[in-house]
């Protein structure tokens, strides 16, 4: 089939049919042929104040950001700032609602204002959707997350309320990340929870801990350097032989033999109550 | 059966409620001052857990409200919804022109997991009637197959909570 300009006519007709408007007081609500990733058409509000044409979002964008608690999201804020700068969009606060708008004194540029505001709203909404989608994916606990949670609870149950000890999690010592610090008047005890979603990550975690703990050798304030290894995960069970070699290697940089989850109560032998 | 087929079945199944009224007076979110909500439970024979039904209304516009049903154990977002006002929906599987569904409209999932909007004959022939929240709730009950054992609930509104202005730009200054 030969291509022909009837296609363009047909497409244009369909696009044109999407425009619509409603008069609300002194404002024209305009629906434009732009769609967000939420499959919603973009609405704009157009009015005239002191010979200036205003094209505003009506406050919906900020309401939506608040609703999704995305207000402090860096990516979204950067995106909004860039659009505002690029398209000369401003914001104003009225009656608890933050509005984004563009203004022009010349009717000649009204179309440009509508295009810029449409692009802006469409893009930010779509980015919000992408962002919340990623968050949802992250919300599912992996096997490693569950191990970390269980290990945290286990340590907290033993030492958390003990008078002689102070427990803190996810600490940094000389920029080295440690899962847990169990400190007493006698000094610091470091405990690393080791797990991994794959053989590669598990092994990397062992090697990093080994190197990190070795670097901390000179730190005299540290009494014990201990690891708690996840031996109930499939990753460990399937790669036991390879991983055990690395665990053995790591042991020389520890103050105690590595503890496996299945024998976790050994911890109280190393750090007595 | 996949998740969405099951949601379609729940949408079609009878749901029960003995609620006598909805009173949207709670803020939807602590930091979102414009949306008032009220939540009630629905029961449904084909699922063991209860479903959540929500009435949500915009403080700036009492003709701007939503009714929704959520099955939180399945999926966080409502699987059936009525929007009285607001933006038009784009049904992406339809022709561009026909797939633009203005409000008021209902939303539900198709079996492939796409949320689509549609209008019933009542909404097409008498759209103005359903700007009223109570008339719309009656329609919602029928469309969502909810059996209200004590009659269709009344939506009570505390007028003092609302600021009634149709024009969202009214009173706002656009000085730079």
Q: Is the complex ipTM more than 0.85?
A: no
Short-list B18, B6, B9, CA closest to B151: B18
pLDDT in tens, A227-256: 999 999 888 999 999 999 999 999 988 999
Would you tell me which residues 116-155 of chain B have a C-beta closer than 8 angstroms to some C-beta of chain A? none
Report CA A98 to chain centroid distance, whole Å.
Answer: 24
Residue B157 exposure: Cα atoms within 13 Å on the Cβ side: 22
B90 touches chain A (CB under 8 A): yes
Spell out, as residue ranges, where chain B has pLDDT lower than 50: none
DSSP type of residue A40: B
The mean of the pLDDT values for chain A is: 89
Residue A137 pLDDT greater than 70, yes or no:
no
Helix (H, G, I), strand (E, B) or coil at B29: strand
Residues A133 and A125: beta-carbon distance below 8 Å? no
Contacts for A258 with CB less than 8 Å, ≥ 6 apart: A226, A227, A229, A247, A250, A251
Tell me whether residues B174 and A39 touch, CB distance under 8 A.
no
Per-residue pLDDT at A70: 62
B31 touches chain A (CB under 8 A): yes
Nearest-neighbour CA in chain A from B151: distance (Å): 33
Residues from chain A that touch B89, judged by Cβ atoms under 8 A, are 39-41
A51 touches chain B (CB under 8 A): no
C-alpha span between B84 and B91 (Å, rounded): 17
Residue A14 pLDDT greater than 90, yes or no:
yes
Per-residue pLDDT at B153: 93
Residue A93 pLDDT greater than 90, yes or no:
no
Short-list A26, A70, A25, A61, CA closest to A43: A61
Tell me whether residues A27 and B170 touch, CB distance under 8 A.
yes
Task: Tell me how crowded residue A190 is: count the other CB atoms within 10 A of its CB.
Answer: 26
Per-residue pLDDT at A172: 84
Q: In whole angstroms, how far apart are CA A215 and each of A47, A170, B70?
A: 66, 18, 53
Q: How much of chain A exceeds pLDDT 70, in percent?
A: 96
* Section A214-235 average pLDDT: 87
- Residue A61 phi, psi dihedral angles, 5° rounding: -65, -45
Contacts for B176 with CB less than 8 Å, ≥ 6 apart: A90, A103
Higher pLDDT, A83 or A163: A83
Interface A:B, Cβ pairs < 8 A: 94
A121 touches chain B (CB under 8 A): no
Q: Which of B29, B100, B115 sits opposite A41 (nearest CB)?
A: B100
- Residue B124 phi, psi dihedral angles, 5° rounding: -75, -45
**Per-residue tokens: B90:** 């784009």
Residues from chain A that touch B166, judged by Cβ atoms under 8 A, are 24-25
Q: In whole angstroms, how far apart are CA A12 and each of A1, A5, A36, A265, B93?
A: 20, 11, 20, 73, 19
pLDDT in tens, A173-193: 888 889 999 988 888 899 999
* Section A143-151 average pLDDT: 86
Residues from chain A that touch B87, judged by Cβ atoms under 8 A, are 31, 40-43
Sheet containing A187-194: give its strands across: A166-173, A176-184, A187-194, A222-229, A259-260
pLDDT in tens, B104-116: 999 999 888 889 9
Residues from chain B that touch A63, judged by Cβ atoms under 8 A, are 32, 34-35
Listed in sequence order, the DSSP H helices in chain B are 3-12, 121-125, 133-143
Short-list A43, A37, A39, A48, CA closest to A19: A43
| A252 exposure class (CB count in 10 Å sphere: 0-12, 13-18, 19+) | exposed
Tell me whether residues B174 and A43 touch, CB distance under 8 A.
no
Per-residue pLDDT at B172: 84
Listed in sequence order, the DSSP H helices in A140-198 are 143-159
Nearest-neighbour CA in chain A from B94: distance (Å): 12
Window from A23-37, A69-83, A113-127, B76-90 with minimum mean pLDDT: A69-83
pLDDT in tens, B2-18: 788 888 999 999 999 99
């Amino acid at each position: 089939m030969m291509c022909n300009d009837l296609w363009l006519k047909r497409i244009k007709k369909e696009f044109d049919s999407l425009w619509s408007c409603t008069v609300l007081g002194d404002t024209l609500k305009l629906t434009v042929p732009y769609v967000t990733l939420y499959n919603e058409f973009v609405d704009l509000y157009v009015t005239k104040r002191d010979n200036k044409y205003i094209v505003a979002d009506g406050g919906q964008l900020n309401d939506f950001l608040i609703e999704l608690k995305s207000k402090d999201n860096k990516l979204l804020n950067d995106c909004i700032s860039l659009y505002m700068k690029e398209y000369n969009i401003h914001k104003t606060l009225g009656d608890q609602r933050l509005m984004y708008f563009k203004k022009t004194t010349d009717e000649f540029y009204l179309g440009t204002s509508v295009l810029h505001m449409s692009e802006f709203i469409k893009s930010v909404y779509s980015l919000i959707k992408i962002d919340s989608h990623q968050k949802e994916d992250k919300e599912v606990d992996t096997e490693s997350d569950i191990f970390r949670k269980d290990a945290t609870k286990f340590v907290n149950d033993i030492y958390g309320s003990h008078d002689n000890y102070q427990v803190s999690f996810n600490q940094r010592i000389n920029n080295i990340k440690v899962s847990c610090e169990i400190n007493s008047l006698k000094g610091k005890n470091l405990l690393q929870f080791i797990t991994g979603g794959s053989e590669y990550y598990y092994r990397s975690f062992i090697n990093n801990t080994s190197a990190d703990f070795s670097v901390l050798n000179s730190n005299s304030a540290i009494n014990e350097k201990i690891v708690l290894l996840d031996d109930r995960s499939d990753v460990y069970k399937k790669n036991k032989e390879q991983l055990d070699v690395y665990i053995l290697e790591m042991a020389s940089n520890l103050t105690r033999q590595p503890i496996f989850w299945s024998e976790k109560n050994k911890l109280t032998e190393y750090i007595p109550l | 059966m996949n998740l969405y087929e099951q949601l379609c079945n729940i949408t079609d199944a009878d749901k029960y409620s003995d609620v006598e009224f909805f009173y949207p007076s709670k803020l939807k979110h602590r930091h979102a001052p414009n949306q008032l909500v009220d939540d009630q439970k629905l029961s449904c024979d084909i699922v063991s857990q209860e479903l959540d039904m929500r009435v949500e209304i915009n403080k700036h516009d009492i003709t701007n409200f939503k009714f929704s049903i959520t099955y939180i154990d399945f999926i966080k977002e409502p699987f059936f919804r009525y929007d009285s006002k607001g933006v038009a929906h784009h049904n992406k599987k339809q022709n561009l022109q026909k797939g633009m569904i203005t409000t008021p409209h209902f939303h539900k999932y198709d079996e492939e997991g796409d949320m689509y909007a549609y209008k019933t004959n009542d909404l097409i022939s008498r759209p103005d009637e359903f700007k009223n929240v109570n008339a719309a709730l009656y329609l919602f009950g029928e469309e969502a197959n909810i059996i209200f054992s004590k009659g269709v609930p009344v939506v009570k509104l505390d007028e003092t909570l609302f600021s009634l202005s149709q024009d969202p730009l009214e009173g706002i200054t656009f000085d730079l």
